[in-house]
């Protein structure tokens, strides 16, 4: 009887072991993201690397372009059929959290499934709500000023420096225009997407949006008038490019006035340094935005390009988090990504990647240290109606340039229309 019992027990153990192996081999993670074909290619290689490291896990990739992606995620959210790992911007996280959709990642940090030891609070705080982390930033960017050092030298103008001011900016634009007959800056990205005014407000302790997202975050229209009077004067004097020219050219790297040396500066996202340098065929440098003389804090900010999230009902939450950890901390994976989505949030990975970077990419990585010194903990996300507000602000700027509105009229009209839009959304 004892031998029979041992044989039966052995059989049960073998069957259980086989079942466990089969179960492990049946693990399939759905991973979804959006972006360009280049991003899809890089993410596919990262997935292949993950599967090689963990042969018991298979990943079903679900990439899409931007608009289609967000539509699909919205449908999947309602159906409670979200992928095990998916990405979203910060503006979507509070809504997902209200629906009870997201997994709290704190326990995963505590048991070291997710290692964030080499990140700063600034880099991970965006998706932290009530001291609980719900998402991990896939890469960081900041809006910077790209400039052509050759053109500055030809014009006899000092290059931008970390403590430069808006007065310095204006002076440089005028001197470059007078010396070379070109534009000092093509500010369309600034005014069309409200980057510059948001910077200016942040520097004065204000914000474009109130925390409720139901009204503007500033009440003193003198801030609007002071800032836009500078831009309007520069544009009327020909020192910066007019909106109609910027619209005609567009924002592709190859067509920018900076690349064509028709402008000495151009504001854009920091991860565009590679594309801009390649298009220009010459070195370009980058600098933080100008400071305000009377500022109460810096205006520069770090923005997560996208955040990796895990639904609370994922069948394999530990493997989903392990994939995010792999993306964040594995050197080989990041050698494939090469900051395409944004700068890695791990300082260790940033340092280890440097030998594999082009000269342009090295500038972006080194620049991140400077950005951290001049960053304020300001809220840079916006409401659902943000695109309408930004569009309104850009059109208001154009109407000021064309003389349809005085600065005072523009400030009042923008406030009234913006507050109405925000209140209705």
Residue in the structure block whose two tokens are 């470059």: 176
Domains 24-140+304-373 and 143-300+384-424 share a fold: yes
Tokens of 156: 């006899």
* Domain assignments of the chain as residue spans, ordered by start: 24-140+304-373, 143-300+384-424
- For residue 355, give the 3-state DSSP assignment: helix
Q: Which CATH class is domain 143-300+384-424?
A: alpha beta
Q: Which CATH class is domain 24-140+304-373?
A: alpha beta
* Ordered per-residue pLDDT tens for the chain, 425 residues: 444 444 434 444 444 443 344 344 589 999 999 887 888 999 999 999 999 999 999 999 999 876 788 889 989 999 999 999 999 987 778 778 878 889 999 999 999 999 999 998 777 777 888 889 999 999 988 889 999 999 999 999 999 999 999 999 999 999 999 999 999 999 877 776 677 898 899 999 999 999 888 999 999 999 999 999 999 999 999 999 988 887 777 666 788 899 999 999 999 888 788 888 888 999 999 999 999 999 999 988 777 778 999 999 999 999 999 999 999 999 999 999 988 888 899 999 999 998 998 888 888 888 877 888 888 765 556 777 888 998 899 899 989 998 999 999 999 999 999 999 999 98
The torsion of the CA quartet 364, 235, 190, 225, rounded to 10 degrees, works out to 130
Residue 69 main-chain phi, psi, to 5 deg: -65, -50
Residues 6+ positions from 20 with CB-CB distance below 8 Å: none
* pTM (global) more than 0.85: no
């Amino acid at each position: 009887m004892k031998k029979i019992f041992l044989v039966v027990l052995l059989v049960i153990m073998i069957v259980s072991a086989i079942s466990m192996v089969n179960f492990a081999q049946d693990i399939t993670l759905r991973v979804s993201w959006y972006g360009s074909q280049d991003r899809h290619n890089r993410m596919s290689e990262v997935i292949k690397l993950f599967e090689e490291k963990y042969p018991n896990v298979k990943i079903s990739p679900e990439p899409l372009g931007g608009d289609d992606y967000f539509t699909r995620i919205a449908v999947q959210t309602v159906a409670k059929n979200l992928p095990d790992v998916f990405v979203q911007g910060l503006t979507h996280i509070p809504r997902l959290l209200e629906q009870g959709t997201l997994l709290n990642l704190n326990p995963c940090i505590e048991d070291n499934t997710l290692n964030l030891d080499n990140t700063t609070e600034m880099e991970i705080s965006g998706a932290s709500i009530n001291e609980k982390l719900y998402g991990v930033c896939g890469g960081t960017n900041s809006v910077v000023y790209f400039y052509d050092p050759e053109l500055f030298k030809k014009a006899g103008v000092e290059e931008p420096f970390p403590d430069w001011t808006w007065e310095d900016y204006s002076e440089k634009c005028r001197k470059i225009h007078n010396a070379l007959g070109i534009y000092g800056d093509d500010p369309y990205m600034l005014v069309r997407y409200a980057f510059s005014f948001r910077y200016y407000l942040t520097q004065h302790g204000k914000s474009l949006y109130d925390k409720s997202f139901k009204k503007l975050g500033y009440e003193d229209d003198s801030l609007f008038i002071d800032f836009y009077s500078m831009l309007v004067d520069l544009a009327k004097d020909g020192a910066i490019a007019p909106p109609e020219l910027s619209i005609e050219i567009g924002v592709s790297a190859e067509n920018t006035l900076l690349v064509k040396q028709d402008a000495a500066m151009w504001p854009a996202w920091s991860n565009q340094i590679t594309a801009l340098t390649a298009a220009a065929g010459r070195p370009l440098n980058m600098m933080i935005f100008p400071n305000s003389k009377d500022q109460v804090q810096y205006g520069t900010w770090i923005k997560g390009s996208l955040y990796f999230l895990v639904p609370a009902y994922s069948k394999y939450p530990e493997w989903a988090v392990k994939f995010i950890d792999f993306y964040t901390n594995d050197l080989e994976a990041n050698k494939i990504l090469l900051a395409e989505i944004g700068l890695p949030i791990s300082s260790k990975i940033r340092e280890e990647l440097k030998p594999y970077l082009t000269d342009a990419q090295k500038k972006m990585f080194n620049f991140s240290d400077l950005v951290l010194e001049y960053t304020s903990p300001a809220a840079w996300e916006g409401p659902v109606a943000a695109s309408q507000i930004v569009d309104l602000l850009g059109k208001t700027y154009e109407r000021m340039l064309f003389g349809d509105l005085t600065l005072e009229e523009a400030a009042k009209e923008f406030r009234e229309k913006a507050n109405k839009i925000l209140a209705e959304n």
